Amino acid sequence: MDTPDFDHYPTARRVDAITLLPLGLEVHWDDGAITTHHALWLRENAPDPKTTHPDTREQALQLVDIPEYLRVHSASPSQSGGLSVRFSDGAEAQYHPGWLRAYAPETQEAPFALPPRQLWTGERLAALPRFSAEAVDHDPEAFEAYCEALHSLGFAILEGVTPKPGQVERVAQRLGPLRESNFGRIFDVRTATEQTSNAYTAMALPVHADLCTREHMPGLQFLHCLENTTVGGATRLTDGFQLAETLREEDPRAFETLSTEPLLFANKAEDSDYRWEAPLIGLDAKGALQELRFSPWLRGPLSTDLETTDRIYRALRALFRRAEAPGAFLRFTLKRTSGSSSG
């Protein structure tokens, strides 16, 4: 039977023994770990080309084409340290030990696992994650470190980007496709006479997240400083997830309110009308933080009863106070020097 190349999976422990179960099997590993695997799960993930397309790596066999009451007929360790399985419908499959161990629910040793996210405050962060634009452009290890900082901390500072319009698009496209917004594909943030956003005024902006009015908020935003000749104009940066987790720990009622009560987020400019309704704190199915629609000025009027309105306002105050507390945020200046910029 032809099998795809598994070289990209990490070197794994070896399978020592197998115990058949009514719904699948139990694998005993050489390091003492024990993992369980459902018969249907094994069958639909078999690596043969009739089940898994050898190029796309996506399922080619439909689940409904597998017998509903499929069972593992027999199983044994393979010579490579993996698993050989024969099913009740006569199909046979070989499983690489790295793949099998990676997706076992008991181990969760996912291949290519991303580093854990690090929550931070301005007081706790030892140093700003700064990277040379030239190194990130030409050194794969520097690019990897830059990407890791973006994932782990949620931000990174790239220094030495050519101070010309359009460079921000070039940098961003190395990580993924750009998404349009009501401000356009890319746009300038500057004090303007036609002010369609607080960002275009000279007022100091509190800590906030952008585009809370959209169904999907930006995953990453890129700011490129082309010119900064003003006095002041410091950038303030905070870890929204740290704020939310602190609120969850210190004021559970406020956290519950902001993670369950939908708020209206509305763009109030004369030339656009974008609205979206969602809780300020977005959670995934397991209760983990997924997003924070943190905007003091993009919230629309509440349409709730008096008691709910009072509870929401109390929760908002609790979160906003923490965002403005000394030590909660970083303060630094985006600067442009001759021939280089940072952003």
308 or 191, greater pLDDT: 308
Give the distance between the most distant pair of CA atoms in the chain: 76
pLDDT at 139: 96
Question: What percent of the chain is predicted at pLDDT more than 70?
Answer: 84
| The two three-digit tokens of residue 20, written as one number | 């058949």
**For residues 34-44, average pLDDT:** 96
Lowest-pLDDT range, 13-22, 137-146, 229-238, 262-271?
229-238
pLDDT score of 203 more than 80: no
pLDDT score of 207 more than 90: no
Instruction: Tell whether domain 15-102 is in CATH 3.30.1380.10.
Output: no
| The two three-digit tokens of residue 121, written as one number | 């405050």
Under CATH, to which class is 130-341 assigned? alpha beta
pLDDT band at residue 180 under the 50/70/90 scheme: confident
81 or 189, greater pLDDT: 81
150 or 272, greater pLDDT: 150
For the chain, which residues make up each domain, given as ranges?
Answer: 15-102, 130-341
Count of CB atoms within 10 A of residue 75's CB? Answer: 25
Would you give the distance in Å from CA 316 to the centre of its chain? 24
pLDDT score of 64 more than 70: yes
What's the mean pLDDT when you consider all of the chain?
Answer: 85
Q: Kind of pairing, strands 275-278 and 72-77?
A: unpaired
Cα–Cα distance measured from residue 30 to residue 272, given in angstroms and rounded to the nearest whole number: 62
Would you give the distance in Å from CA 208 to the centre of its chain? 18
331 or 204, greater pLDDT: 331
pLDDT at 300: 87
Per residue in 101-138, pLDDT (tens digit) is 888 887 655 445 677 889 999 888 888 999 999 999 99
Question: In whole angstroms, how far apart are CA 84 and each of 18, 43, 44, 207, 289?
Answer: 10, 12, 15, 56, 40
pLDDT band at residue 6 under the 50/70/90 scheme: very low
